[in-house]
Structure 1
């Protein structure tokens, strides 16, 4: 029996909305002493882990045959399947959450074979639910969203994420950052790649770029941008942005210009 992806996307959005309530409740009394450090700038909390457990349990009920790629490993070893695979970031923006900065999200994407089929990003603090289905458009709280039609860098706002693990390419990144600062309305670093991508899809900024990302950071957001009329690639090529560790997302009109600026300074 075929899967109704549109209904599934609504069910996933409802699950994320319920799970976001748990995160909001924990935010009111969060204890920093309960943080674990995967690295100096890479934090994880019991909230990440419990959120992921709740999501995995709910998604297993919705689609029992699907495999999982998760950030915290609560579903066991990654198990990408030939048919369906959930890709989950339970709390994208953990550092913001830990410090009480209100930009963090749940990100759930679904692969159907090798193609993204469903994407949901739930921005927790604003209680905004971004949802997309392959071929079915993108929505924010069930209102259709579209990328902007800005066609010149001088009229754009750019989002990015700062490196937090691999600093070997920091010089090139800072040169790119400087170029965008001087050629656009400005650059914003929100701290959640999933939110950045959702905001490109919703027309709140024109483009987003970041490197050293994982599939669970970007899976849902990639589909949101594409279904909202935008374009998503790797930095300098049209290569796979899902598993390629680097992402450029834009409204489409600016894509070549964005890649051109990155190409001035970026060394593979």
Structure 2
């Protein structure tokens, strides 16, 4: 599948940052780590990856806006386009030597995500999607799973930690869902969870209190793979609220109603 110039640029930036992160991952015990808060860490590797991506993307498209986890928001001369970047989704996994983390890059145009890349550098799996062009993993086209029954389905989520206020809601979610499904997994990298929904590895994913950069690229992956994405509650915009529910088309309504207790 031929990619657009912007998507090729995103892929190049993701791969370059991924190579830098893999190098640091091999020396994870020697990383200089500073704490940003309970359970939320930032490393030298994280900041260097964002520097690489920013240099690549804004070097080629200097008029675009920018939203990055480490360097924040920056307006561009073109108000209609913005890069949304998480240079290292799954930082805690990375710092503990667990090979489940990713580079996430999305392009927003007039408030809509039109391209997304999630690069699992440790496994060399590059997930990418463009509006109207489908979702892909390396050279293979992706499709959400075809499971139609909740008792066969495996879902992914994130368990709140530290000072987050949504633990009671999550416990209620689990109490409703776990008796009805085949299992729930907590991998600690929302971008990869969404990419795996697009690939049919997970049947669905939900989580609260996420940031825009956590889910922007994954959101278009799921949509272009034939899945549905919404907020957990009616009227929620996932990118604005940080509350997201993603699932294959056949199970979406049942999954949503189960979490809502309907």
1:38 is aligned to 2:36: yes
Aligned match of 2:91: 94
1:68 is aligned to 2:31: no
**Pick from 248, 251, 254: which aligns with 1:254?**
251
The 1:6–1:165 alpha-carbon spacing in structure 2 relative to 1, beyond 3 Å, is farther
* SS in structure 2 at match of 1:85: strand
* SS in structure 2 at match of 1:118: strand
**Pick from 213, 219, 225: which aligns with 1:216?**
213
- How many residues were matched structurally? 260
Which whole-Å CA distance do the structure 1 matches of 2:114 and 2:30 have between them?
A: 37
* Contact residue 236 and residue 262 of structure 1 kept, 8 A: no
1:111 is aligned to 2:108: yes
The 1:165–1:223 alpha-carbon spacing in structure 2 relative to 1, beyond 3 Å, is farther
In the TM superposition, what is the alpha-carbon distance from 1:243 to its structure 2 partner?
A: 1.8
* Contact residue 176 and residue 261 of structure 2 kept, 8 A: no
Deviations 1:141-188 (A, max 9, x none): 021101012122111110001112554331221121133222111001
The 1:221–1:33 alpha-carbon spacing in structure 2 relative to 1, beyond 3 Å, is closer
C-alpha RMSD of matched pairs (Å): 1.8
Aligned match of 2:23: 25
* Contact residue 116 and residue 128 of structure 2 kept, 8 A: yes
Aligned match of 2:4: 6
* SS in structure 1 at match of 2:28: coil
**Pick from 150, 170, 183: which aligns with 1:173?**
170
TM-score for the superposition, normalised by structure 2: 0.94
Aligned match of 1:162: 159
Structure 1 gap segments, 5+ residues each:
none
Which whole-Å CA distance do the structure 2 matches of 1:64 and 1:238 have between them?
A: 34
Name whichever of 141-150 and 94-103 sits farther off: 141-150
1:225 is aligned to 2:237: no
* Contact residue 200 and residue 206 of structure 1 kept, 8 A: yes
Deviations 1:191-213 (A, max 9, x none): 10000000000100110000000
In the TM superposition, what is the alpha-carbon distance from 1:78 to its structure 2 partner?
A: 3.6
Hey, which bits of structure 1, 4+ residues long, moved more than 4 A? Answer: none
The 1:115–1:77 alpha-carbon spacing in structure 2 relative to 1, beyond 3 Å, is closer
Which whole-Å CA distance do the structure 2 matches of 1:77 and 1:99 have between them?
A: 29
* SS in structure 2 at match of 1:243: helix
Structure 2 gap segments, 5+ residues each:
none
* SS in structure 2 at match of 1:209: strand
* Contact residue 158 and residue 180 of structure 1 kept, 8 A: no
